[in-house]
């Protein structure tokens, strides 16, 4: 069958498909026939090929460590905003809701937290002025310990919040705590294993990896393998085991591999992890 003639405009639109080998067979013959007889289209094709090669060599920038938390927080905020648009109310009802929002537990908690820090600052300042030979270093340490304690309490409180956005913020508090105690570790592990939001669990996993020098954290991450039922978290945990070179994870990973309900892609990831750790 004779190939249908093709003009330069149509050929220009099809060049990317031809370079990607995605052009329909019905049009390939006409395109190549036109290309063999048109010098202008040959030059344009060469320029397009060079552009694609340059783009393929561009280095992909490395995302910052805070990107997951920022992204998931933004995602949850966007979801909340969209839900509010769907449930629009009258002007006066919206105004009433805003006024009531000023007295939510979250705002009261923040207000209490700010007032507590203010009282500590005023009390410390008064005490420092009242003493002639104060131990400044010791006083600063006491104040720092109190702030750390408040950060931990704030984190533990927000982890129990019904809002996924607030729970994401709670996990981010771990970066402001110099030394986490057993209660914080247990709360983070519980969030990793039980939180209903996959994004919160993924960000919690990243936070726990930063605390992996703690033997209790390592043990909790290994035990978490068989408690996960979400492919994203299962795959992320497999990567973490390789990163931490945690050979104790081989047995639970093998048991997970034997389960019929595990995603095929995750099984491939698990096999690669076991091979890397063996």
Q: Transcribe the chain into DSSP letters.
A: -PPPP--HHHHHHHHHHHHTT-S-HHHHHHHHHHHHH-HHHHHHHHHHHHHHHHHHTSPPPPPPTTHHHHHHHHHHHHHHHHHHHHT---HHHHHHHHHHHTTSHHHHHHHHHHHHHHHHHHHHHHHHHH-SS--HHHHHHHHHHHHHHHHHHHHHHHHT-S-HHHHHHHHHGGGG-SS--HHHHHHHHHHHHH-S-HHHHHHHHHHHHTTTTSHHHHHHHHHHGGG---HHHHHHHHHHHHHHT-GGGHHHHHHHHT-TTS-HHHHHHHHHHHHHH-
* Interatomic CA distance for residues 165 and 70, integer angstroms: 10
Residue 209 in any domain: the answer is no
Look at residue 130 and tell me if it is in a domain.
Answer: yes
pLDDT of residue 118: 64
Whole-number Å distance between alpha carbons of 76 and 72? 6
What pLDDT sits at residue 220? 94
Among 143, 178, 213, the domain-final residue is 178
Q: Verify that 118 and 166 share a domain, yes or no.
A: yes
Given 56, 76, 95, the domain boundary residue is 56
Q: Are residues 85 and 157 in the same domain?
A: yes
SS3 7: coil
Question: Among candidates 64, 70, 71, 72, which has minimal Cα distance to 198?
Answer: 72
Judgement on whether residues 125 and 33 belong to the same structural domain of the protein: no
Last residue of a domain, one of 116, 146, 178: 178
User: Do 116 and 164 fall within a single domain?
Assistant: yes
Name the token pair of 71: 């992204």
Question: Based on the structure, what is the number of domains in the chain?
Answer: 2
> What token pair was written down for 235?
């795959």
Is residue 225 a part of any domain in this protein? no
Say what the pLDDT of residue 171 is.
Answer: 83
What pLDDT is attached to residue 198? Answer: 87
Residue 26 lies in a domain: yes
In the chain the first and final C-alpha atoms are separated, in Å, by 59
Same domain, 167 and 79: yes
> Domain range spanning residue 138?
67-178
pTM value > 0.75: no
| Residue 72 and residue 157 share a domain | yes
137 in a domain, yes or no? yes
In this prediction, the residues of the chain whose per-residue pLDDT falls under 50 are 1-3, 132-133
127 and 168, same domain (yes or no): yes
Considering the domain architecture, whether residues 82 and 32 belong to the same structural domain is answered as no
Q: Are residues 41 and 71 in the same domain?
A: no
Q: Dihedral sign for Cα 15, 16, 19, 22, please.
A: negative
* Domain contains 234: no
Specify whether 35 is located in the same domain as 125.
no
> For residues 136 and 138, what is the distance between their CA atoms, to the nearest angstrom?
5
Q: Do 108 and 13 reside in the same domain of the chain?
A: no
Give me the residue label for tokens 């030059």.
43
Residue 149 falls inside a structural domain: yes
Are 146 and 109 contained in the same domain? yes
On whether residue 253 sits in a domain, the answer given is: no
């Amino acid at each position: 069958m004779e190939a249908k003639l093709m003009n330069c405009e149509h050929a220009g639109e099809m060049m990317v498909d031809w370079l990607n080998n995605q052009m329909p067979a019905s049009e390939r013959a006409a395109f190549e026939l036109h290309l063999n007889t048109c010098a202008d289209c040959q030059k344009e094709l060469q320029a397009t090929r060079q552009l694609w090669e340059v783009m393929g060599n561009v280095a992909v920038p490395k995302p910052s460590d805070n990107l997951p938390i920022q992204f998931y927080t933004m995602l949850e905020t966007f979801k909340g905003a969209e839900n509010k648009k769907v449930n629009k109310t009258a002007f006066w009802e919206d105004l009433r809701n805003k006024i009531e929002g000023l007295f939510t537990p979250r705002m009261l908690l923040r207000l209490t937290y700010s007032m507590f820090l203010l009282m500590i600052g005023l009390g410390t300042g008064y005490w420092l002025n009242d003493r002639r030979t104060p131990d400044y270093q010791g006083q600063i340490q006491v104040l720092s310990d109190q702030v750390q304690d408040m950060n931990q309490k704030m984190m533990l409180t927000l982890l129990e919040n019904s809002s996924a956005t607030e729970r994401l913020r709670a996990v981010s508090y771990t970066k402001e705590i110099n030394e986490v105690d057993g209660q914080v570790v247990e709360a983070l592990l519980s969030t990793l294993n039980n939180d209903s939001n996959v994004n919160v669990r993924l960000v919690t996993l990243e936070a726990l990896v930063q605390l992996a020098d703690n033997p209790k954290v390592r043990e909790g991450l290994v035990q978490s393998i068989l408690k996960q039922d979400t492919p994203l978290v299962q795959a992320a945990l497999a990567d973490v085991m390789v990163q931490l070179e945690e050979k104790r994870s081989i047995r639970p990973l093998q048991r997970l591999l034997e389960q019929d309900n595990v995603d095929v892609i995750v099984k491939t990831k698990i096999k690669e992890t076991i091979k890397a750790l063996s």
